[in-house]
């Protein structure tokens, strides 16, 4: 049985070849009544396009992992009686929402898919050639030539998935992120008391007051140096880019909550400083381990500019306060 890790693929490189346009026809009209008719060659059909299309039922690029080459159909050739060739078959690549397409060589951003059934052309099919009818004029009455079809666009592309969520959980491995997600949502992430329990992003829907809800994502733990590839590296940092709010989770038994918070902030800054423009909340987990006096001591050491909430996923204390803060920031 495949593990969840092997099923979650968020990066693929594929070679895409759009279809070649069909050739125009250089046919001259002939019939029982006409032995030397004029040109009636039809145009060639358009080569097939390769589209990328959003599918809100998908969450991984697994289906493309072993599909390295994708080819659209060629256009049909034109024929007599000004009949155009058929267009080549278009190919549609279904992807999860939040998928970005890039050129593999230049790494240039091409487009992003964010809604269900949204489709964009990744590689464009070649135009069909014009038939000889187009080249008839007062001087050249019976042109005996037509255009060839144009080759379709082709090359290597990268498809990269960024998880779409309202709130992204950011923190060290084993800080309580997965436990919080499991308590607030119906998601069932793997939970353990050792680093890197979470190896893939987990999503869950958090129920709020008056039947409202928002989406929360548990991102694999960040360690010092993640932006330079340490630990699980920056492979998962890109998922944070799509979150509206970053909820930093630091355990109350941390040796230095302020220092840990600054390290996390710095890793995000090194990866993409624009991440720090997002709304940020600091959640101090496992607060059931603290009495009122210790909580006061921690509060006194926190920066006055930080929005923070003490909570416990074990006793459920502070969870509604946490959801209230999240909802307020989402709707400010």
| 55-69, 76-90, 120-134: least confident range | 55-69
Q: How confident is the model at residue 95 (pLDDT cuts 50, 70, 90)?
A: very high
**At how many degrees (to 10) do helices 292-301 and 257-271 cross?**
40
Dihedral of CA 193/267/299/327: which sign? negative
Residues 65 and 152 in one domain: yes
Angle, in degrees to the nearest 10, between helices 177-184 and 319-331: 90
* Domain final residue pick, 130, 161, 192: 161
Looking at the structure, tell me whether residues 4 and 116 fall in a common domain: yes
Residues 6+ apart with CB under 8 A from 290: 252, 298, 310
pLDDT above 50 for 125 = yes
Q: Are 218 and 267 in a shared domain?
A: yes
Band (331; pLDDT cuts 50, 70, 90)? confident
pLDDT, position 255:
86
pLDDT of residue 50: 98
196 has pLDDT over 60: no
Q: Considering only CA atoms, which of 62, 92, 88 is closest in space to residue 75?
A: 88
Q: What is the mean pLDDT of residues 282-304?
A: 88
Q: Mean pLDDT across the stretch 58-84?
A: 92
CATH number at residue 11: 2.70.210.12
Say yes or no: 154 and 187 in one domain: no
Residues 155 and 175 in one domain: no
pLDDT for position 306: 85
283 in the same domain as 201: yes
Tell me the pLDDT of the chain averaged across its residues.
85
Element (H, E) at 79: none
Whether 22 and 103 map to the same domain: the answer is yes
Cα 155 to chain center, whole Å? Answer: 20
Tell me the mean pLDDT in the region 187-194.
Answer: 44
Given a cut of 80, whether residue 34 has pLDDT beyond it is: no
Per-residue pLDDT, averaged over 184-196, amounts to: 51
Q: What's the mean pLDDT in 44-55? A: 97
Q: Which domain holds residue 274?
A: 165-331
pLDDT above 50 (res 233): no
More confident of the two residues 305 and 196: 305
Q: Is the model's pLDDT at 150 over the cut of 70?
A: yes
**Domain endpoint, select from 161, 188, 205:** 161
Strands 243-251 and 279-285 turn out to be parallel
pTM, two decimals, is 0.67
Which of 88-92, 98-102, 127-131 has the lowest average pLDDT?
98-102
Residue 116 and residue 188 in one domain: no
Check whether residue 175 and residue 286 sit in a common domain: yes
Q: Which of 5-9, 13-17, 27-31, 141-145 has the highest average model confidence (pLDDT)?
A: 13-17
Do 130 and 65 lie in one domain? The reply is yes
Mean pLDDT over 14-20 rounds to 97
| 146/171 same-domain check | no
Claim to verify: residue 87 and residue 107 sit in the same structural domain: yes
Q: What angle do CA 169, 175, 177 make, to 5 degrees?
A: 35
CB-based contact 99:161 (threshold 8 Å):
yes
CA-based end-to-end distance of the chain? 45
Could you identify the residue written with the tokens 């793997």?
A: 190
Number of domains in the chain: 2
- Can you give the pLDDT at residue 236? 61
What's the CATH code of the domain at 229? 3.40.50.300
Q: How many residues does the chain have?
A: 332
Q: How confident is the model at residue 1 (pLDDT cuts 50, 70, 90)?
A: very low
Phi first, then psi, for residue 181 (nearest 5°) are -60, -40
Average pLDDT over residues 123-152: 93
Which residues make Cβ contacts (< 8 Å) with residue 304, sequence separation at least 6?
Answer: none
pLDDT above 60 (res 250)? yes
Task: Identify which has the larger pLDDT, 160 or 52.
Answer: 52
CA distances to 56, 64, 84, 98, 195 from 221, in Å: 26, 26, 58, 21, 8
pLDDT band at 151 (very low <50, low <70, confident <90, very high): very high
Q: Please check the confidence at residue 100 and state whether its pLDDT lies above 70.
A: yes
Minimum mean pLDDT among 4-13, 237-246, 316-325: which range? 4-13
DSSP string, 16-57: EEPPPPPPPP--B---SS-SS--B-PPPPPPPPPEEEEE-TT
What are the residue ranges of helices labelled H in 86-138? none
């Amino acid at each position: 049985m495949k593990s969840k890790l092997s099923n979650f693929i968020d990066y693929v490189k594929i070679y895409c070849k759009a279809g070649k346009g069909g050739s125009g026809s250089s046919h001259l009209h002939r019939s029982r009544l006409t032995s030397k008719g004029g040109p009636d060659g039809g145009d060639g059909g358009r080569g097939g396009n390769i589209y990328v299309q959003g599918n809100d039922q998908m969450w991984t690029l697994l289906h493309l992992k072993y599909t390295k080459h994708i080819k659209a159909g060629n256009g049909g050739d034109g024929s007599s009686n000004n009949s155009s060739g058929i267009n080549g078959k278009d190919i549609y690549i279904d992807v999860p929402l939040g998928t970005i397409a890039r050129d593999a060589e230049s790494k240039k951003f091409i487009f992003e898919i964010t809604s269900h059934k949204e489709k964009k052309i990744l590689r464009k099919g070649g135009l069909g050639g014009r038939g000889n009818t187009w080249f008839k004029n007062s001087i050249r009455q019976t042109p005996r030539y037509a255009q060839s079809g144009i080759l379709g666009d082709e090359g290597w592309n990268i498809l990269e998935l960024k998880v779409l969520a309202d709130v992204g959980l950011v923190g060290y491995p084993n800080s309580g992120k997965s436990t919080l997600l499991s308590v607030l949502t119906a998601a069932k992430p793997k939970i353990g008391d050792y680093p890197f329990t979470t190896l893939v992003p987990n999503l869950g829907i958090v129920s709020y007051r008056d039947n409202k809800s928002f989406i929360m994502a548990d991102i694999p733990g960040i360690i010092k140096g993640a932006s330079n590839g340490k630990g699980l590296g920056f492979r998962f940092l890109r998922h944070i880019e799509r979150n509206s709010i970053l909820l930093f989770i630091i355990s109350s038994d941390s040796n230095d909550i302020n220092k840990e918070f600054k390290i996390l902030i710095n890793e995000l800054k090194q990866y993409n400083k624009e991440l720090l423009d997002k709304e940020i909340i600091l959640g101090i987990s496992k607060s059931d381990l603290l009495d009122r006096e210790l909580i006061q001591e921690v509060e006194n050491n926190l920066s006055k500019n930080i929005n923070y909430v003490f909570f416990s996923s074990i006793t459920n204390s502070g969870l509604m306060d946490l959801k209230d803060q999240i909802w307020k920031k989402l709707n400010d």
